[in-house]
Amino acid sequence: MWSFLRQFLIALWLVGSGNAFAARPQVVDDARLFDAKACQLETWAQWNRNSTDFGFAPACNPGNLELGFAVVRTREQGETHTTQVQIQAKTVFKATEPNGWGIGLVVGNLDFPRAEPRRGTNLYGYVPVSVSFADDAFVLHANFGFARAEDENRHRAIYGLGAEVRLRERLYFKPEAFRLESGRPFWQAGLGYALVPERVAIEVSYGNRWGRASAERWVFLGLRFVTPPVLP
């Protein structure tokens, strides 16, 4: 498995290039859903070089369909503004099982209400694929899709590659690289720890754009809460 991990980390270096759709513990998505009839809340802080982002992202799964939205508030130069608003729907055609694979579909819309110059509303869709090895000790995730902003006249490809590597029973290493817009790719790597298995998790990570030294680096701290089934 470790030989495969080394090859994967080299692949991360070669994977192409992106600015994240609304920040979340992992940008590269998996082909899994949380429990049917349950809801989840992701909340986070991201410290950038000259600003700090605070995110809030609730979602619910009435049955093989996660529906959610996210809001990002950014504090910069003593002022705080809403900088990202996202809505998203996700379904899975084949759920990822231990030592198996899964595939799904995600569609959404991301708006940057205070971007200067105006970046436009981003409509996007992508296919997440996950492959499990060694009883989920190593899970590889790949995304590929397209996005289009209202101020663009063509679709652009978006893609990413990520992984979850189990270090201990509740501790995971999570590296990823992704391209969601023009320019050099971004990378992110961190640790996730399940405070309550399948219910409460904390994640911390560090990321940057490839080849940009410290210009676009960030530090991320996130919490994820998943309820038991609560929907009718």
Q: What is the pLDDT of residues 52-101, one digit of tens each?
A: 999 999 999 999 999 999 999 999 988 999 999 999 999 999 999 999 99
Instruction: Tell me whether residue 22 is in a domain.
Output: yes
116 pLDDT band, cuts 50/70/90, is low
Instruction: Tell me whether residue 231 is in a domain.
Output: no
Instruction: Tell me whether residue 232 is in a domain.
Output: no
Instruction: Tell me whether residue 113 is in a domain.
Output: yes
Question: How many residues make up the chain in this entry?
Answer: 232
230 pLDDT band, cuts 50/70/90, is very high
Instruction: Tell me whether residue 59 is in a domain.
Output: yes
Instruction: Tell me whether residue 101 is in a domain.
Output: yes
Cβ 62 vs Cβ 231: under 8 Å: yes
Task: Tell me the average pLDDT across 186-204.
Answer: 95
pLDDT at 121 over 70: no
Domain around 121? 2-226
113 pLDDT band, cuts 50/70/90, is confident
Task: Tell me the average pLDDT across 1-19.
Answer: 43
Q: How many domains does the chain have?
A: 1
Task: Tell me the average pLDDT across 109-124.
Answer: 73
Q: For residue 10, give the H/E element and its range.
A: helix 2-14
Rounded CA-CA distance 184/212 in Å is 9
Instruction: Tell me whether residue 138 is in a domain.
Output: yes
pLDDT for the residue 53:
95
pLDDT for the residue 15:
38
93: left (phi over 0), alpha (psi -120 to 50) or beta: alpha
DSSP symbol at 8: H
Convert the pLDDT of each residue in 25-41 to its tens digit.
689 999 999 999 999 99
Cβ 122 vs Cβ 113: under 8 Å: no
Instruction: Tell me whether residue 200 is in a domain.
Output: yes
Mean pLDDT of the chain: 86
Task: Tell me the average pLDDT across 153-178.
Answer: 93
Q: Which of 38-47, 117-126, 213-222 has the highest mean pLDDT?
A: 38-47
∠ CA 16-22-27, rounded to 5° = 45
pLDDT at 115 over 90: no
CATH of the domain at 215: 2.40.160.40
E strands, the chain, in order: 39-48, 52-60, 66-76, 79-94, 101-111, 122-133, 138-149, 156-166, 171-179, 186-196, 200-209, 218-226
CA separation (Å) from 39 to 12, 73, 229?
32, 22, 7
